[in-house]
Amino acid sequence: MSNNIKNNLSRRDFLKAGGAATAATGLSLAGISSATAATCSTLPEKWDETYDVVVVGSGFAGLSAAIEAKNANASTVVLEKMPVPGGNSTINGGCIAVVGSDVQKARGITDSVDAMMGDMLKAGLGLNYPLQARIVAERTNEAYEWCKNYLGVKFKDKITQFGGHSIPRSLTTQNQSGSGIILPMLAKAKELDIHVKTKVYVKKLINDEQGRIVGLEVITRFKPGKETSTKTKFIKAKKGVVMANGGFAADVNYRSSQDPRLDEKLRSTNHSGATAECLKEMVRIGANPVQLSWVQLGPWTSPEEKGFGMAPLFATYSAFAHGIMVSPKTGERFVNELADRKVRADAIVKTGDIGIAFCDSIGASHSSHVMDKLLGRKVVLTFDTFEELAAHYKIPVKALLAQIERYNSYVEKNIDPEFGKPFSMKQVAIKKAPFYAVRLWPKAHHTMGGVEIDTKARVMNMVTRDVIPGLFACGEATGGTHGACRLGTVAVPDCLVFGRIAGQNAAKA
């Protein structure tokens, strides 16, 4: 049965209430007619603004949706709660997993959609929505080419094998930051005359008597703490509302209801705006929340830094790829440093202690671009000998030396019999002083769960599992694509691919 029918009034209630409802006041029938329905609505007496497509959120997904909608001739606005656009996308590493990129081809690396799907489903523990996951994998190269050729994004001529990926397929923006994509997107939005409005907080989604989402009630000039302000504006969306509001990893109160371990003691890599109010509002209006208890912890964050920090760059490009991580308790490795994020983060937590990740000066050269800052902030420390390193972190030195020798022998044999770490990045033994080290403790990074969408990015109704007309969602706001664990560098293509799909479909809705 359709959401539409569900939201309609039972005949009995209609006869009971209808008379008074249509009488007097500017209140539409919807206010009463859906009084017993899955959601209810009061259409405003007048709309303050009207667009074809209203996009909520200005990260990769939101801006992709807005650009596509505008290019499909829909008048489009982007609403951003924060004072600056970009959300987590601007502070992310700017890495994108791409199947069949020019860079892979130039290096003779064979890859396939099935291989990337396989990696996603393995990390996702089979919870992934297969169709959504495949669409992301299939369209990674199209999204990457769109960034390069249409947006003018500059990528490094460099390829990396990220944790959980069976093949090197991850590319990075020149400035190794998501801002390398967000800034060109904002420039394109300006060029296309798409207004990106900041400090606009979504208070309510508004549906009509048929249950179609027709607009939003928003708080303008929003300041944190003013969430309940009644000084609101009504914005009409003639064709569709695209929710690209991101995840809720920074929302301690809400995330801890899904995973009680994620209390205030556990920090987040996210910006302070990564909270759950839009998720809750979509659920209120009838959306189906799926897989919400899967919150990803980043294994590469440093307790010495706030938020995401820069430690993840050193850990990913140098320490994990070309070095090892040991427990200070034992001096021994406890996980494949290139396993997926969940495996690594769970492994660190399980040791009950900080992880110490380090590499030699050759390994460190792979993150030279950030090294000055990391050393200046004392997030990464250098040591002339392994003994000094062991002494500083109070690691049993004999065990550490034995571990390093053992690991180096694996590198030379090109096989890790202990943890199965892949040596496909021309790893060399950890030998050349000085040695660079970082302390690591996980932080809440990505919320895999969100609202259910279909392959057209249409939001599904919880009761009927039919689409909610007029409502679209993409990016971290949605659940299912990544299942139990989102692989590193797959968030960007997910946001680009489904952001574009959402914008294209909203424009013709």
Shortest spacing between CB 467 and its own copies, in angstroms: 13
Shortest spacing between CB 64 and its own copies, in angstroms: 25
Q: Name the catalytic one among 169, 212, 341, 439.
A: 341
Residue 18 or 303 having the CB closest to its own copies: 18
Shortest spacing between CB 359 and its own copies, in angstroms: 29
Using CA atoms, how far residue 88 sits from 166, 384, 420, in Å, is 26, 37, 32
DSSP one-letter string for 86-134:
THHHHHS--EEE-TT-HHHHHTT----HHHHHHHHHHHTTT-S-HHHHH
Kindly state the DSSP code that residue 34 receives in the 8-state scheme: T
Q: Which two tokens stand for residue 165?
A: 């990926």
Q: Torsion over CA of 42, 47, 50 and 52, rounded to 10 degrees?
A: 20
Q: Torsion over CA of 317, 379, 256 and 58, rounded to 10 degrees?
A: -60
CA nearest to 129, candidates 338, 341, 259, 294:
294
Contacting residues for 437 by C-beta, under 8 A, at least 6 apart: 319, 356, 357, 358, 380, 381, 382, 383, 389, 392, 393
Total Cβ atoms within 10 A of residue 81: 24
Residue 59 or 442 having the CB closest to its own copies: 442
Continuous H helices in 98-228: 102-106, 113-123, 130-138, 140-145, 179-191
Residues that bind its own copies (CB under 8 A): 1, 10-13, 16-17, 19-21, 23-27, 31-32, 34-36, 38-42, 45, 125-130, 204, 217, 228, 230, 253-254, 257-261, 280, 283-284, 286, 288-294, 346, 349-350, 449, 452, 460, 462-463, 465, 480
Residue 284 or 392 having the CB closest to its own copies: 284
Residue 142 or 346 having the CB closest to its own copies: 346
Residue listed under structure tokens 């809750």: 280
Residue 30 or 194 having the CB closest to its own copies: 30
Shortest spacing between CB 170 and its own copies, in angstroms: 26
Shortest spacing between CB 303 and its own copies, in angstroms: 20
Shortest spacing between CB 509 and its own copies, in angstroms: 22
Q: Classify 430 in phi/psi space as left (phi over 0), alpha (psi -120 to 50) or beta.
A: beta
Shortest spacing between CB 179 and its own copies, in angstroms: 33
Kindly state the DSSP code that residue 10 receives in the 8-state scheme: P
Shortest spacing between CB 292 and its own copies, in angstroms: 7
Q: Residue 15 is which amino acid?
A: L
Strand runs (DSSP E) across 272-390, as ranges? 289-290, 295-298, 324-326, 355-359, 380-383
CA 417 to chain centre: 33
Q: Is 341 part of the annotated catalytic residue set?
A: yes
Residue 86 or 211 having the CB closest to its own copies: 211
Q: Is the dihedral of CA 480, 483, 486, 489 positive or negative?
A: negative
Q: Which residues pair with 461 in a beta bridge?
A: 287
Residue 164 or 312 having the CB closest to its own copies: 164
Residue 111 or 340 having the CB closest to its own copies: 340
Give the CA count within 13 Å in the CB-facing half-sphere of 281. Answer: 25
d(CA 35, CA 17) in angstroms, rounded, equals: 10
Catalytic residue IDs: 341
